[in-house]
Amino acid sequence: MGESFDVVTKCMGFTLTEQFMEKFVDPGNHNSGIDLLRTYLWRCQFLLPFVSLGLMCFGALIGLCACICRSLYPTIATGILHLLAGLCTLGSVSCYVAGIELLHQKLELPENVSGEFGWSFCLACVSAPLQFMASALFIWAAHTNRKEYTLMKAYRVA
């Protein structure tokens, strides 16, 4: 009976329904009750990037309409949509970090796992400020002197 077991860690994909399953107070113990904070943090960090993407696509559509109409007024709406998309991205990153920290309070990492954030997390951290900068540039372009800036110059700046 003195056998030693090697722990094998591997990445596993989750189906869409598994993404929205409840998280339990004691991970793996279905009788421990539902941990609502971790459950909703997980759901938010899964859904908010899609909301951000939708806002960015809608902003691009409004920007295209602004080019066709030769008007700078929809540029303000595009800037606001980029601002909201940046907030969604920042919220998603925050929900992910909070959820991981709550999980690490309940479970210890295996010996061979370092628990560092990966490249996709770093991209998400960089994309939120870029979305905020794009938002600021769109709003600035809309509020500049409309007589001096033509439509193409304003979009070249943004």
Rounded to the nearest 10°, the torsion over CA 135, 136, 138, 142 is 140
Confidence of residue 7 (pLDDT cuts 50, 70, 90): low
At residue 6 the predicted structure's pLDDT band, cuts being 50, 70 and 90, is low
Contact by Cβ (8 Å): 79, 135: yes
Q: How confident is the model at residue 80 (pLDDT cuts 50, 70, 90)?
A: very high
Altogether, the residues listed in the chain come to a count of: 158
Among 21, 42, 24, CA closest to 96:
42
Looking at residue 71, its pLDDT comes to: 72
Least confident range from 18-27, 104-113, 115-124, 126-135: namely 18-27
Reading the block at residue 20, the tokens are: 């929205």
| pTM for the whole structure | 0.75
